[in-house]
């Protein structure tokens, strides 16, 4: 635990020691399904491949775009986008959520350091940073049938003409909601909330059954 304070804001590392066990939002689904029916494995016929990118660092940034832009560029080397922007390694991303709100995703374990560097860079500016890492998880969908699976699940138009690479939206998905993003031509990412993760995972497996969906573990 850190006692560093910035003005009136107390910050602390939500996961200070790697030895402390943590469970991803999908662990319940993974474990229960593996007991009753094992999650389908990826094979050459899988039209969709699902992989959870567990334990990434998720930060919600709020504040004025000009102020945040400068800090995010300094800390992450990414300009604030209107859609989705990734750094050169593709491991860190910044996503537009609303006119004064962005989602930053960094490799797991970096989030506390990034948060502190952002707070240092932002100084006395009017802003908020919230670590949402424990509340949501990122699931990646790849494969030639991935878009068809999305078409069955959301009313949002995911045709490439409307949903090109670099776009990110929060949408209704299977009567629930999630963030849908397209970081690369052949890959979609879903940001699921912990409370919906189990349900959405089962929905995706069901929707993907006809395409031979496989789960990468």
Partner 1 sequence: MFYIHCPYCDEYRDEEEFHPKGQAHIARPEDPETCSDEEWGDYLFFRDNPRGIHHELWVHAIGCRKFFNITRNSASYEILETYRMGERPRFSAEHPQGESAEHGAAVNVADEAGRVADQEGVRA
Site residues (vs partner 1, CB under 8 A): 63-68, 82, 96-101, 155-156, 169-172, 177
Q: To the nearest whole angstrom, how small is the minimum distance from the Cβ of residue 177 to partner 1?
A: 5
Nearer to partner 1, 128 or 172 (CB): 172
Lookup result for tokens 């970096």: 110
Identify which of residues 65 and 151 has a Cβ nearer to partner 1 in the complex: 65
Residue closer to partner 1 by CB (options 37, 155) is 155
CB 165 within 8 A of CB 184: yes
**Smallest separation, CB 46 to partner 1 (Å):** 30
What sign results for the dihedral spanned by CA atoms 139, 84, 112, 178? negative
Write b or e for each residue in 107-137: b if 16 or more Cβ atoms lie within 10 A of its Cβ, otherwise e.
ebebbbebbbebbebbeeeebebebbbeebb
CA–CA gap between residue 92 and residue 84 (Å, rounded): 11
How far CA 194 is from CA of 21, 44, 78, in Å, comes to: 17, 30, 27
Nearer to partner 1, 63 or 208 (CB): 63
Shortest distance (Å) from residue 65 CB to partner 1: 5
Count the neighbouring beta carbons within 10 Å of the beta carbon of residue 193. Answer: 16
CB of 179 vs partner 1, minimal distance in Å: 10
Which one, 11 or 177, has the nearer CB to partner 1?
A: 177
Q: Nearest distance from residue 197's CB to partner 1, in Å?
A: 17
């Amino acid at each position: 635990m850190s006692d560093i304070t910035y003005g009136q804001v107390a910050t602390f590392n939500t996961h200070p020691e790697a030895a402390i066990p943590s469970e991803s939002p999908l662990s319940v689904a993974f474990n229960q399904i593996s007991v009753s029916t094992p999650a389908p494995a990826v094979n050459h016929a899988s039209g969709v491949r699902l992989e959870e990118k567990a334990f990434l660092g998720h930060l919600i940034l709020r504040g004025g775009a000009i102020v945040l832009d400068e800090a995010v560029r300094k800390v992450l080397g990414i300009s604030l986008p209107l859609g989705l922007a990734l750094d050169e390694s593709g491991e860190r991303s910044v996503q537009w959520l609303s006119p004064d709100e962005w989602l930053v995703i960094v490799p797991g374990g970096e989030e506390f350091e990034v948060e502190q560097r952002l707070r240092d860079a932002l100084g006395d500016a009017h802003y908020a940073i919230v670590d949402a890492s424990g509340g949501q998880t990122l699931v990646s969908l790849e494969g030639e049938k991935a878009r068809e699976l999305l078409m069955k699940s959301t009313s949002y138009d995911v045709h490439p003409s409307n949903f090109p690479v670099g776009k990110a939206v929060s949408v209704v998905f299977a009567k629930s909601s999630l963030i849908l993003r397209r970081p690369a031509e052949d890959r979609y990412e879903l940001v699921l909330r912990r409370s919906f993760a189990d349900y959405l995972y089962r929905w995706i497996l069901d929707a993907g059954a006809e395409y031979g969906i496989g789960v990468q573990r």
